[in-house]
Amino acid sequence: MVESEEWVTSPDSYNKPKEEILKQKRSHVSQYRAAHMQLPLLAATLLKWFPNLGEESEKLGGRLVPYLGPMPVYSGKPFIIPSYPSGQVPMTVAMRRPLFETLVRRLIMNSCKNVRYLPGTVVGLTKDSSASPNAITGVQIHTSEKENISLSATLVVGTSHSVQFFHVLRPNSCQYVIFPDPKLDNRILGLMRRDKNTLDVLVGGWAVTEEISNIDDLKAYLSSLKLHIPLPAWIHKTMDLFQQFEAPMRIEKSRLGISAYIQYHLYDYMPSNFIAVGDSVMTLNPIKALGTSKACVGALVLSGILDKCEPNATDRLPDDFSKRFWKRHAACVGPNWTSNKTDDYKYETTTPSKGDNPKMFNRFQKKFGGWLLELVLKEGYNDVAATASNVQRHLAPPTDLFSPKVLWKIIRYKLFDTPA
């Protein structure tokens, strides 16, 4: 693994105690200290690879908890929380990003002895025109010792967008997140109980202009939210308590770049052994907290395709390796692009992608999304709520929303207003 931020690569950085980890700053990941939610796909994947995930998170003050957000509240109206058979409740790791990132690094580096870090910046790729017609032979690296070196590679995986090669805090829950009704407001609120005694308060939204600099600003923000059902009183009381006891508070501000989707799967001339995952393929509005799960989906797709590769005498990947990856990866992460745009286009302040007309944009999806939301907010549709929440959490494919069962329930509801 080539990593341009040198301190990240030293065992010291991922084996030190929590308090010291929290002091560190990341110059290449601007959102390092921003509030992050980990969707359950991440915990499910990591638990499979690292059964000691729970114990290791506790060492850093975090814990594995049932995941009930971020869909519990829409403009103050609670969603029906789907019931899951016992033992199948989706879990998440409740930790702030710096600690979660360190936890993943610690798990990998302390248990996978065949993984090594090389401090340096990837500056280019090398090709040998006499070799395979369309394969990369290696990467060029500017090392932390200011040397330019080349490393040969069987497979190159890009992972950085800077290298786009082209409800109540339930006793066992950890978050309370409100998404706005776009007709009323453009702002969100998230309260997330994190490692040990930390509360992340997430405020922001689409084209938000308010500056929050202290607890009074935060209280004014909470009081001014326009919701169908007002915020529960305990939220205001909690803020009053923080103010009264002068609880230590740190403010992190993030301005977001534009969203982008590099559709590698549409290029015919991609090298057969180059792939990319995470933000190097697609950056999304982080409001739905999909970013790290999207990177995890990339890793899962890669793992599945590698598993199917037959070992061969030349140690080379099959000529259609990246084609297979791009095709499956696009099918898994592509729908996020459309669904995020559908959300963003509900706000007139969104600058449309070239060729999109926000008013016309995917009319069916908008209507279908609206009907689905009505059902998810209604008693008697627990299974539809469970399907919607599994899809949103990356635990089920988007096609589940179009299953005959869900479609039939929507039709019955729209025609007769009765649960099917």
Ligand X SMILES: Cc1cc2nc3c(=O)[nH]c(=O)nc-3n(C[C@H](O)[C@H](O)[C@H](O)COP(=O)(O)OP(=O)(O)OC[C@H]3O[C@@H](n4cnc5c(N)ncnc54)[C@H](O)[C@@H]3O)c2cc1C
Q: Which residues of this chain interact with ligand X, rule CB under 6 A? A: 2-5, 28-29, 31, 34, 36-37, 121-122, 159-163, 254, 256, 278-280, 286, 289-293, 295
Q: Which is nearer to ligand X, 98 or 180 (CB)?
A: 98
**With left for phi above 0 and alpha for psi between -120 and 50, is residue 174 left, alpha or beta?**
alpha
Q: Which is nearer to ligand X, 5 or 356 (CB)?
A: 5
What number of other Cβ atoms are within 10 A of residue 110's Cβ?
A: 13
Q: How far is the CB of 256 from ligand X (least distance, A)?
A: 5
Q: Which is nearer to ligand X, 93 or 410 (CB)?
A: 93
Measured CA distances, 84 to 89, 170, 291, 389, 392 (Å): 6, 17, 25, 11, 16
Q: Which is nearer to ligand X, 29 or 375 (CB)?
A: 29
Q: Which is nearer to ligand X, 206 or 381 (CB)?
A: 206
Q: How far is the CB of 317 from ligand X (least distance, A)?
A: 22
Contact 50, 105 (CB under 8 A): no
Q: How far is the CB of 383 from ligand X (least distance, A)?
A: 26
Q: How far is the CB of 260 from ligand X (least distance, A)?
A: 12
Q: Which is nearer to ligand X, 293 or 322 (CB)?
A: 293
Q: How far is the CB of 293 from ligand X (least distance, A)?
A: 6
Contact 194, 94 (CB under 8 A): yes
Q: How far is the CB of 346 from ligand X (least distance, A)?
A: 20
Q: What distance in Å separates the CA atoms of residue 169 and residue 270, rounded to the nearest whole number?
A: 47
- Selection from 100, 90, 113 nearest residue 60 by Cα: 100
Q: With both helix axes pointing from N to C terminus, report the angle between 321-344 and 291-308 in degrees, rounded to the nearest 10.
A: 160
Q: Which is nearer to ligand X, 24 or 31 (CB)?
A: 31
Contact 91, 65 (CB under 8 A): yes
| Amino acid letter, 23 | K
- Selection from 167, 227, 228 nearest residue 192 by Cα: 167
For 91, the 3-state DSSP assignment is strand
Q: How far is the CB of 159 from ligand X (least distance, A)?
A: 5
